[in-house]
Amino acid sequence: MELTSLTLDTAPLGTARTHVVVVGGGFGGVAAARRLARADVDVTLVDRHPYNTFKPLLYQVATAGLNAGDITWFLRAERAANPRFRFVLGSVTAVDTSARRVELDGGRRLDYDHLVLATGVVVEWYAVPGAARHALPLYGRAEALALRDRLFAGLETLSRGDPGREVRVVVVGGGATGVETVGALAEMRNRDLRVTYPELASSRVHLTLVERGPDLLAPFHPRMRAYAARALLRRGVDLRLGTTVAAVEADGVVLRRPHGATERLAADLVVWASGVRVPDAVRAWGLPLGDRGRIAVDAHCRVVGVERVYAIGDVAAHADAPLPQVATPALQQGRYVGRLIARTERQRATRPFRYRDKGTMAVIGRASAVAEIRYLPRLTGLPAWLAWLGLHVLMLLGRRNRVATTVNLAARYLAGSRNVIVGDGVPTEASLAPPRELTGG
């Protein structure tokens, strides 16, 4: 039975149409596959998960604002819009560009006429001792759920234990993910706990954000960075800027402060929201690598020196202009490559890829956010928060996800403690397992 389904998965399509294989069902891969629906080609999308994850809202799952299903989308459902689309669940392990073939786990193979690589990146631990073992990353659905369960298990333990005991959460990384995660945790502590855990004084829950740079949200304008820092301080977050995490231990972190002194901070939970790198597996595919090990592409998103292979999104970089590893470049490159392949098939020329920077935003909590949106003045507070909400809901795949996310976020921010999506109160196997080597969500 298993053999049959494996064989079917990767069987030749039996059509005379051009076959495009897309590796990775994230922002870039799905955008490419969708654009290819307009072309007369067969499309096979391969991903190690059966779903697409909307990563910008993962921290909402981790902090009990959204269900995992609200921000994930069944990749096989793409077939509803394109009968020439099929999905294969699996991990690509090797790329043979001379045979035009990719190898998948379990010995399966897929032949391609065009190959789009959109594998994304993985967590970077920066070789910090103990980080991979003791910290919880926030990179995919499983990690967000593990974090949520650990959090609720910690609160339950605290609520029935020694009243002198405290719980400490340390978030590592002052980029958007770290700021958003610690902001959501602070609101949960400050607003919700007194209702849901009356036996637990909120002063017993400590939140620390550690950032090695001098500011939070480095890509933003200094005024926005200062706003974010003030908003977190107002919410009672202990901010450690210019501070490096030297080690993560089972029950704490070792910090190196700006002038080199070290300090040990007790921690029940360490959330790792710091840095990404290209997966080792991708580095082993023998493709040319550029900026920080990302696959080197030309101005048309074509892998340098390799015919009919394209790389897009976080995993790819042009030598002259590496783009930020965020959703918009991946989306735009996905659409571009889909169009490029369609035009190549019709022997039509296509202009080089041009990135349109639409801006960036980060949310700190209810009615508190920063947004730098093209053609608009810089926004903070409620207007930025509304822009953040609208844009994120619009970007989700699937109408049901948009409705569910709108309802759940409205419940979180308008009704507060009564509408928390509860995690498991006892540690689950998944939440206690040491983090794995994580690859692309």
Residues near ligand FAD (CB under 6 A) are 23-29, 46-49, 55-56, 58, 91-92, 118-120, 138-139, 176-177, 281, 313-315, 325-328, 330, 439-441
Query: What is the smallest separation between the CB atom of 71 and ligand FAD, expressed in angstroms?
Result: 11
**Cα separation of 440 and 330, whole Å?**
14
63 or 197, CB closer to ligand FAD? 63
| Min dist. Cβ of residue 355 to ligand FAD (A) | 13
Measured in Å, how far apart are the chain's first and last C-alpha atoms? 29
Name the residue nearer to ligand FAD (CB basis): 46 or 155: 46
Q: Determine the residue with CB nearest ligand FAD.
A: 26
List C-alpha distances in Å: 12 to 18, 296, 339, 400: 12, 30, 24, 33
Contact 307, 313 (CB under 8 A): no
In the complex, least distance from residue 395 CB atom to ligand FAD, rounded to whole angstroms: 9
Measured from the CB of residue 34, what is the shortest distance to ligand FAD in angstroms? 13
Q: Nearer to ligand FAD by C-beta: 26 or 130? A: 26
CB of 220 to ligand FAD, least distance (A): 12
241: which strand partners?
A: 211
Instruction: Write b or e for each residue in 393-402: b if 16 or more Cβ atoms lie within 10 A of its Cβ, otherwise e.
Output: beebbbeebb
* DSSP H or E stretch at residue 337: helix 327-345
**Residue number with CB closer to ligand FAD (183 or 440):** 440
CA nearest neighbour of 169 among 310, 19, 62, 276: 62
Minimum distance of ligand FAD from residue 24's CB (angstroms)? 3
Nearer to ligand FAD, 158 or 372 (CB): 372
DSSP-H helix ranges across 218-326: 222-234, 280-283
Task: For residue 142, give every residue at least 6 positions away whose Cβ sits within 8 Å of its Cβ, in sequence order, or none.
Answer: 430
The least CB distance from residue 227 to ligand FAD, in Å, is 17
Cβ closest to ligand FAD, residue 92 vs residue 153: 92
User: Least CB distance from residue 56 to ligand FAD, whole Å?
Assistant: 3
Least separation in angstroms between residue 360's CB and ligand FAD is 7
Specify the residue, 212 or 294, whose C-beta has the smaller distance to ligand FAD. 294
281 or 304: whose CB is closer to ligand FAD?
281
Q: Nearest 5°: CA angle at 338, between 333 and 343? A: 120
Residue 353's CB is within 10 A of a number of other CB atoms, namely 22
Cα 326 from Cα 322, distance rounded (Å): 12
Task: Output 314 or 372, the one with its CB closest to ligand FAD.
Answer: 314
Task: Give the separation between CA 111 and CA 102, rounded to whole angstroms.
Answer: 6
Q: Write down the least CB distance from residue 90 to ligand FAD, Å.
A: 7
Write phi, then psi, for 295 (nearest 5 degrees): -65, 130
The span from the CA of 351 to the CA of 382, in Å, is 40
Contacts of 46 (CB under 8 A, 6+ apart): 21, 22, 23, 24, 25, 87, 88, 89, 90, 92, 102, 104, 110
Q: Which is nearer to ligand FAD, 9 or 197 (CB)?
A: 9
Alpha carbon 379 to its chain centroid, in Å, reads 24
